[in-house]
Amino acid sequence: MEFQILGALRLRATGPAVEPAGHLQRVMLAVLLARANEPVAVDVLVDAMWSGRPDPRSGQRLQVHVHKLRRVLDDPARLSFGPSGYRLEVRPGELDLARFTDLVERGAAEDEPSRRADLLREALDLWHGQPFDGLDTPVLADETQRLVERRLTALELLHEAELTAGRHASIVPELAGLVREHPLRERFTWLLMSALYRDGRQAEALDAYRSTRDTLVEELGLDPGPELRALESRILSGEPDTPAPPAAPAPAVAPVPAQLPANVTGFVGRQAELSQLDDLLGDTDTTTGADAPPVVVVAGTAGVGKTTLAVLWSHRRRDRFPDGQLYVDLRGYGPAEPAAPEDVLAGFLRALGLDGSAVPGELDERSARFRTLVDGRRMVMVLDNARTVEQVRPLLPGSATVTVLVTSRDALAGLVARDGAQRLGLGRLPRAESVDLLNRLVGENDRSQVDELVRLCARLPLALRVAGELVRSRRGDGMASLVAELVDEQHRLDVFDSDDDPHTAVRAVFSWSYQNLTDVTARLFRLCGAHPGRDVDAYALAAMAGTDPRTARRGLAALARAHLIEQTHDGRFRMHDLLRTYAAELAAADTDDADAGIDRLRAYYLHTATLATDQVSPHLGAPHLIEPGTVAAPTFTGYDDALHWLDTEISNVVATADPAVAGHVTALSYALWHYLDVRGHFDEAIALNTMALRAARETGDRRAEANALRHLGSAYFRLMRTEESIAHSEQAMLLYRELGDASGEGAALNNTAAALFDVNRFREVVPLCERAVELLRRDGVRSRLASGLSNLGSVYRTVGDYAAAARYLHEAVELSDEDEDRHRLIYPLHELAFLANDTGQPLEAIEYAQRALDLAHQTGNRTIEGEATYNLGRIHRQLGEHDLAVRCQHDALRVAEVTDDQILRLQVLVVLGQLHLDVGETDAALERHREALAIPIDRPLEKAQAEEGIGDVHAALGEHDRAAVHWRRALTTYLDLGVPGAENVRPKLSALS
């Protein structure tokens, strides 16, 4: 596999490199390649692909694009999913950036100038435009700029080597172009002046200097730097030019990272601490004589402003660190897992110019490589929110030129004792600064009340900000009412521990809001902390509390007023990380109530998911294990309501699954499998059914084991993991057979057949589908039989047995019509439309296709919507209705772009090629067919149709030899697959001979 990012994004499995289809897929692949071999969070991908626009369906849409991207990779397992997000495996030498880096490093290390120049030019030849050309997304902006800088540095190294090798005359034109393109980059001017001077062109060299000087003065108000001025002086005095000083290898591979968060606005106070940091850290410089990096630990309680201070100081002293600023949130305190040092180092190494495929695998190796890359560089590092010494120590540089600021709620005594760090204890704000902050938040108020509230907030910045929000949210004299509530000793804020224990401090910050809650609302707050998902609604919280939704809704409103929870735009509720941690601690103190709440939540989600499934997938017949009336659930008025609930709650529902609660997880996996399949949640389907499989095997539940295996087979099929799909489906088939479940066995056979059909192994599929229908007839489950008949009819149509196809498809329509099963009915109607068109009945085909399209719109089935529209276009072409045919194909192409359906895109392009040829547009026809062939998916049937189309174009142009080549390719594929098509190609070839 080959990946190219140094220009337009391209990939190649076999044949020429191609651009991935669809803008969103290109963005996703670009972000994954920018962080090759590292996990990329789902939120990062969503933000990159949809530019931060909120969309409740973005998670589902991302799954679709992940599925499609896996289909174009040589190995779908390259793109894996884990707790930290999606990870794309890129092997050594596959990424052009890795090859560029290697060649630049080798060139920089080469002593012989000519060889050095050759290696650097080979590296630069890998570029074919701007990095990630055409992908304008903020997530890639920093990486793009970093890569551009690396290319410019490599160009400088190249021309320095060329000068040293004596090739000054030959590089003048290229350097002149670089100076025009980058007039403010003085190094290019220096190189051009040197080349001209050595070539005896003194006047032109001085002209180049004057031009750059004028540009610098006009644009920046600056004179040229000392290096450029010194060269001008040598030229004016007629001194012989000296060879270009060899550049250190580091700049070629070490861009300047700028990772600090945005500078702080509205900052109040802390001038003494900022001065103290100046004293502790001094003026970092290579001349200080220090032999260890200056490290300061900013320690203090939660909410005291440690991060703000560190970031503000780093921005104010940024001029001391021209080689870059590194920042990371170590997530030491919060619900998420603390950042692992090896993951942090991988990010730092990438920011310093090392591509993902070159990052060492072991922590010690990453740490050593990091120390090497920053050695001698004037940089600042902010290691924010550290939890332990062990988390920080591997990240420390070895160079005295790198300043390190660590923030933590812990004193991190080990860093002071062993690593020579200095500690700055950050206490509460002075009274005057606290008053200033509060006045900025709420405006001028009665001075005595402000002073009292400052005292009650213990001069803690976070507490003051929360108090300010509470004052602003109250009607009338909000500050007076808040002070009156808190002044009573029984309800006063907890006193912060004298030793600045961060855990106690966190509780104290929020306790004055929590202490004022009623018992009922306080319990709801604790249960929110026990909830396993990221957000909650009144029904779920009512289930946890064993109360009614109305009471839960009132409690959530009270929590929102107390700023202990926030309401989202869609009416749901969520906590930020600190509050969630606090609530979880409170819940943990009453484990019996929390555990009982989780049990009730599982029952609620299972019950409601089953109710929703009754609307969305009525054919499923999922058993109702929870007694009606025991759990309050929303009422679904129809398909749309139920689907919206599932789309909104699916992550929460899956989060309650636990293989230790076998009955729940197996029932939940059965209820959700069809929804997860049609909505594209394939990774969740695999995770849930893997848990169900484990639970079923541990409890000896053979039927649940068979169901989980079958559902895994279906999910792996969707992800194009054909072998795994077949293996799980065959295991399921054997288990169903042991259980005497003919319907289950038939459904598992259908899974196997679908996996084989998708890779065009049609001859193997027919007997499997026939056997599946035989089993499904025996069992009598009508919905499954309808699916089996539809699949069998589709296979027979594909291989050209139209009579058998019609028989089975009409039977499937009859069954689905009788059961009023719209989900099942859509598929045989869709296939009958293809069949009617293939057999020369275009008017009947239009009727079937329109019915399928109407059902697709009603049920939200985008797959059939696109395919039915595509088929309508084919039919209109058969009828000679060219404009209608073109319009349908373009409509279908838009659906393919939205859903990233590359198979549909391939099919549409073939028909568009035919339509262009129909009206004599041979160039456009060739372009469409070639575009179809370039789509990197394994679909030999459609590729053969494109080959046939190219042959038709060449024949129309009178290029008969070229036509014959493409027709023979198409004929060979048709015969190999055993599908119709050969009967159309043979007469064309015969006519040529």
Q: Pull the structure tokens for residue 174.
A: 């290229």
Residue 56: predicted pLDDT: 54
- Looking at 3.30.365.10, 1.10.10.10, 3.10.20.90, 3.40.50.1820, the CATH number of the domain 2-88 comes to 1.10.10.10
Residue 250: predicted pLDDT: 35
Instruction: Classify 821-897 by CATH class.
Output: mainly alpha
Q: Pull the structure tokens for residue 288.
A: 């200080």
Reply yes or no on domain 96-253 having CATH 1.25.40.10: yes
Residue 711 CB-density burial (10 A; 0-12 exposed, 13-18 middle, 19+ buried)? buried
Give domain 271-276+298-420's CATH architecture: 3-Layer(aba) Sandwich (3.40)
Strands 10-12 and 2-4: antiparallel
Residue 502: predicted pLDDT: 40
Q: Pull the structure tokens for residue 663.
A: 């009955």
Q: How far apart are CA 454 and CA 438, in angstroms?
A: 8
- Residue 764 CA: distances (Å) to CA of 714, 722, 790: 18, 14, 17
The three-state secondary structure class of 327 is strand
Residue 281: predicted pLDDT: 86
Residue 762: predicted pLDDT: 81
Q: How far apart are CA 817 and CA 820, in angstroms?
A: 5
Q: How far apart are CA 666 and CA 702, in angstroms?
A: 11
pLDDT along the chain (993 residues), means of 10: 90 70 86 89 82 59 78 85 82 91 88 92 93 83 83 92 90 93 90 92 93 85 82 86 45 68 74 88 53 84 81 89 91 74 90 75 88 89 91 93 90 82 86 86 81 78 74 73 63 36 46 75 95 92 95 89 72 74 86 95 95 83 68 87 91 92 92 84 90 96 96 86 92 95 92 86 89 87 87 92 96 89 88 93 90 83 86 91 92 83 91 96 96 88 96 95 96 92 92 82
Q: HSE of 428 in the Cβ direction (CA atoms, 13 Å)?
A: 24
Nearest to 787 by CA among 842, 737, 750, 835: 750
Contact 440, 451 (CB under 8 A): no
Domain edges within the chain = 2-88, 96-253, 271-276+298-420, 431-514, 821-897, 901-993
Q: Is the Cα dihedral 151, 157, 160, 165 positive or negative?
A: negative
Torsion of CA 224, 229, 231, 235, to 10 degrees: 120
To 5 degrees, how large is the angle CA 53–CA 59–CA 60?
Answer: 120
Q: Pull the structure tokens for residue 228.
A: 């450029």
Residue 886: predicted pLDDT: 95
Convert 273-303 to b/e letters by CB count within 10 Å (16 or more is b).
Answer: beebbeebbeebeeeeeeeebbbbbbbbbbb
Say what the pTM is: 0.55
- Per-residue H/E/C for 586-619: HHHCCHHHHHHHHHHHHHHHHHHHHHHHHHHCHH
User: Same fold for the domain at 96-253 and the one at 901-993?
Assistant: yes
Q: What CATH number does the domain located at 901-993 have?
A: 1.25.40.10
